[in-house]
Amino acid sequence: MGYLFLLLASALLGLFVEALAYRSGWAAVAGVALGGSLVAAVVGFRKGAVKLAQSRREGDPRHNVSIFSEPLRQEEVDQYYVNYRGGQRRAQSAVTLRASRPNQSEAPEAVVPSRLSA
């Protein structure tokens, strides 16, 4: 929500400067609207920060969220894993694969070049 008010403030800044350039009486109105829009943007950003801080409680599965999205409920996360990540079947298949090839390491060794070219 803060971003919308910030966008509005940038448009109002243009109107304010134009009204000042033409020595219009609307400059005061545009200035007050600009100030109100900037205050509303700050309030919107603060509300987003509070929501983000509440979702970052220790042990909360939604601790790593963005201010651009609503935090997901645990049921929604579980449903995503079942639908798109194979749920428990994927974890079981990885265990089966490792058990069938015990002599191979889990991750291949990375090749590091001795000299880097520019």
Residue 35: alpha-carbon gap to chain centroid: 27
For residue 114, being part of any structural domain is answered with no
CA separation (Å) from 93 to 34, 81, 103, 104?
59, 15, 17, 16
Percentage of residues in the chain having pLDDT higher than 90: 38
- Residue 30 shares a structural domain with residue 63: yes
With beta carbons less than 8 A apart as the criterion, state whether 81 and 87 touch: yes
Q: What is the pLDDT of residues 104-118, one digit of tens each?
A: 555 555 555 556 555
Q: Kindly report which listed range (9-18, 71-80, 94-103) carries the lowest average pLDDT score.
A: 94-103
With beta carbons less than 8 A apart as the criterion, state whether 89 and 97 touch: no
Q: Which residue has the tokens 């651009």?
A: 68
Q: What is the pLDDT of residues 55-84, one digit of tens each?
A: 666 555 555 556 667 777 788 888 888 888
Structure confidence at residue 79 (pLDDT): 86
pTM for this predicted structure: 0.52
- Residue 81 shares a structural domain with residue 37: no
Which two tokens mark 55?
A: 């979702």
- Residue 33 shares a structural domain with residue 78: no
With beta carbons less than 8 A apart as the criterion, state whether 41 and 9 touch: yes
Three-state DSSP class for 30?
helix
Range of 62's domain? 2-70
With beta carbons less than 8 A apart as the criterion, state whether 30 and 19 touch: yes
Structure confidence at residue 67 (pLDDT): 62
Structure confidence at residue 106 (pLDDT): 52
Structure confidence at residue 84 (pLDDT): 85
For residue 108, being part of any structural domain is answered with no
